[in-house]
Structure 1
């Protein structure tokens, strides 16, 4: 059972192709005008189906509202599809345009077949079946939503984050809707007798205090390798201790070995409910294909790329004809990164950078710059073909001897590099006690060919620090 990669379908547009039923033959319904009308119209099928499958009606109602835009999406009004489920239902489907992300995190649009249901209840039942039966590769992937495992609707809603939808705020969005419209009071108060058999288990679950986790999704194919310590840990279907029903998998099941390449698509920061200690977890898979089975692992399981950050200043020019993206973090850093736009939109322009990052991955170093675009900061890779920092060109040569400070020396400054030639440019004041005629030792020379200016690297008597200074500061 395939699902869309984006979880809000209110903006879906009807496509040209239709399978199964004819669009004019009436499986759809008129768009619901208000949230209250939506809740009222679906109250009966939601309670009936959710209780039958031992799920939380409030969560099902919130999902239906969120996924269908309160029943206004074209997919819902046309096909009674409240959850964006792809495929066909008893041979019936509708073809619609939907947005997807490619392996580089770029947004694109494509046509896809979505199930067409004869009624809202059929849509609810199909979705409940999915939550109860899971997927072919993991039948228990949604077990955190089952009432016997989830002590409250909040636990059930949060269990959908990172499983049902990749959006890190998916569970929080459902909870917000439930609270705003008091759906738990309206729908969760009564259950069928079939769910009463689990009261004891639910009571036990109420006593468990689970850790919380903040999830961050990632774009494209980001990678790491299994560390030398990986065998000390386990793989899990969810972040460990964040919900009931978390299961672990032995490394032998996947043929793991030290240094094995794995693909990352999500990062989670877990907070222990008692100690408040935070730990970092990653969701991995062993195949580049995004549909491959996924596991959660503790950060020490992986050898991640290292990043060295440096503050500074530079002008970075985005070259014409570039491809790729700019990101919220350095791509493939331990933070993981999300694409925030295409570099082609920034081509031919220059931007100020305030931070530099040198990433080392598998022995290869790459440089990244953080630039400001329309008031927001993003990371871009610095390459000859895509983007390059604009520094002054200098021809260096050895030098020796001594010179004296000129009468105009105080008009100039001391630097750790020739001015405007390095990102981590630093400016220094003249040491105390120096004056016109003070002797300095010269040990290097630089000429800015474009400006025809000469610079010297000098050292003061009794001081081991080297400084660069404009030759006009010297006699």
Structure 2
């Protein structure tokens, strides 16, 4: 058989020994024994060569030739099929072996050979040598690689002259490969023998069977990739679009595989894992929406409950049956009819809510079907006041009933009553026709109008009916001050009273003189009182405002006296004093509003058309004011702030 030169053996460091001719051994084994040997090493050979992308047929032929069909002492005692010297993980055996000197003379020595724990390690060593080569030339055996040789017989040429110097070595290996049909070992992958396009509906079987799911190709076919298994999809209805017959590496027929979509993935699954229920697919027709109630009846029949779609429709998944739910009330949200592949109409299914889940079930499993209607629940009679918040939200106003009830009528939005106080007489929630509970609504009354509004639109909710307390009639003047804080203005009553209507803010009246006719506090139904409000008049309008919005409050009402019409020229003088400039009336007189100061008009020439003296609320004579025109507006200024020119 093959001979290795001493020089090459030393360079390789593997010390591959020479095993004598095995012809006598070849002849001593019958066909069954030879087949048994191949079957014994098949798994190890295919695994080792697959890892290194080599031909299993070549390695099997080498093992046969170099170990004499496994009858060599090395193969039997050390699982060493290639006469590799040295030790393996510290394990070795000592045996005599023949060597040749550089002149071709044979001599015998005793050497240590690697002892492997199994045949696989021996095959793995051999495959690593052919793929990785030696330190000075990693491609020295590249002729044996799958990417370089088209077959195991062609790869045998890659062993000459570096692996063996005997030119007959490759010839011997080729003969063994051909004689024993070892090329079948090179086919480690299955192939698709036949494939047909189909349209079938099938259900993944339930029980203990779990099949792998493969993208690209069926199991063990080139391009196949495992992407999960069917355990989570048992009972799922799918559409099969291809069926493939797989041929195993040994040439026998393997399983049939179905191509389908599961969990959003296009996959191949063993056809035996399905129950094929029909050719073609079932479709849905005559869909109708509408809430209805019904009762499950499983006394005389038991029907399946299906997720996602009705029975036989792609996507349907069986999730149980009606047997355990006899007499239980359910909510129907829609119905749909199934249409078979042959075009015939089949069962009508109802989409029901059962507990917390939704299912499709045959309508024949239901009795007492009737339309579901909304009702009021959690009704509560109260006596409260509250204020509408339309600043951060906008809510609808409804007459007759809250939103969600059949006769509810929208009559406006909360913005029309923003900031206004109202009374609350009732609360209720809508139990919808779809068996969900809506938000809490309040039935309120304001300015003689009653309506329903989302209770979340109400703020400062107080129990009981609000009333005015500590009412005091007065006759005073004051100045609105919005420079420090801005307060709301209210019509009819102070904030907190049901008839109070928000009407702007004090910013519009800033620095304006007003009259005060009344003070009062709002006492809520729970006995608490709010701030003191003042009832003011200005520019012919009346408002209630928080007393803290007013300054310079004085008893009585100031008036004008010694009013004279004049025509004088003057210059505004703000060098030694600074005076306020007022529209409407002089300072402290009702309707007076400070609009500027004299310092802004220093040295401006103006015409005085009227003078008047302010008579204070206590009867004392105040300052004399002049009526002048500034920026096309008639305004009043203390006459001391002017230098009269004529």
Common fold by TM > 0.5: no
TM-score under structure 2 length normalisation? 0.26
Higher relative contact order (CA 8 A, sep 6+): 1
